[in-house]
Structure 1
Amino acid sequence: MISVVVADDEQLVRAGIRGVLETAEDIMVVAEAASGSEALRLVHRHQPDILLLDIHMPGGDGLAAAEMVCKHVPATAVAMLTTFTYDRYVQRALHSGAVGFLLKDMEPRALIDAVRAIAAGDAFLAPRVTRSLLTTFRDRDPRRGNRARARLAGLTDLERKVLRLLAQGLANAEIARSCRMSEGSVKAHVSRMLVKLDCGNRVQLAAIAYDAEDNY
């Protein structure tokens, strides 16, 4: 069973998210929070698999709460839930350690699939967020691209291929099929890249890939 805490300052939004998620037999919303500080307390109390966290809330905004959860409760995966795709918010959330960026207007089935993907250890960016990131990185400072390419120099050819597919948003199973390897091998390659590139999660790996190449 995937345990989830939902944090949003609007009660109707929380109720809607709970209603969608609990249509899935393998997902359970264990608590709801109306502020960032309350979200922190509930995460410490319930130790959920996933925290769905709105960006703007009273009592400490979602981005600040995300940083605290990622630092102090690393077993809980943090996914930002918002109506915004503005790049500054996306990038700060990713750098804080969030592994997902979901939009409140996404389809119910897509929300359930995203929660399952995050629980399985994959990163998830809503398509509009991915397009926003791509636009940002295509217009990046060339020096950032040079630094990113230098960081990737120590990867093997196979690791580069896995990274390219990961940056395109493929899950481990899809990467495994594309590379004709087991999911376990994909996870091992991703784990090594996290160490080599000093990244905290898959989304940060994808960010480096976006920086390094225009065609990711």
Structure 2
Amino acid sequence: MVTYPRKIWVVRHAEREDNINRGWRKLEGSEGLASDNSMLSARGKQQARECAQRFKNHDIAHVFASPYDRTVETASTIVAGKNLKVKAEPGLCEALYLCEKPPGFWSNEQLAEKFPLVDLDYVPVYSKYTLPKEGYGDDACVPRVKSTLSQIFSRFEGNLLLVGHGASIGAVHEVLMEDFKYVGQATVSEFEETAPDCFRHKYSSDASHLSDRRNLRPW
């Protein structure tokens, strides 16, 4: 049984290599990655470590991440040492009009080979093959994110951490506070669930933990 109140933290993945390097697919470590699945940049890895410091003393019961490399690596870095597994959830992935068809993320088994903290026992709300059809535009993912959140919130107790993308995090804000809101990379938003389906917005896109707050791409 879920007890209230509880915290819901939402983090956008850290900076991706293709944000700064159009030739990223020629780099070591990009082998097998689809065009929509860039890895983190060196700056992004540092941002993820700074996110980990922010959450060092926070009580997190479960962490969910979109199954892309950049989101899973961000989530894995944050919870390393916390005795937590990262639940890879396609329902939190980017707006589908920005993705390959089907989206180019790995299977859970492949993800776990790269990121050992991936939870192989987690049964996701969606798979890459059952994601619903969506229209053009970032807000087209709102119904899918709403369905994903509803199941996550009812199935899992305690404080939750969600790691997603610009569009999917905007959709989280739409679902929880009726205001689609873009946030910067590696920033933190916080909500408090005070009762079933009752949420209090605490803050959005906080970057106070980051040493370099330039160009966080809040769109």
Same fold (TM over 0.5): no
Specify which structure has the bigger relative contact order, considering alpha-carbon pairs within 8 angstroms and separated by 6 or more residues: 2
Give the helix-richer structure, 1 or 2.
1
Which of 1 and 2 has greater Rg? 1
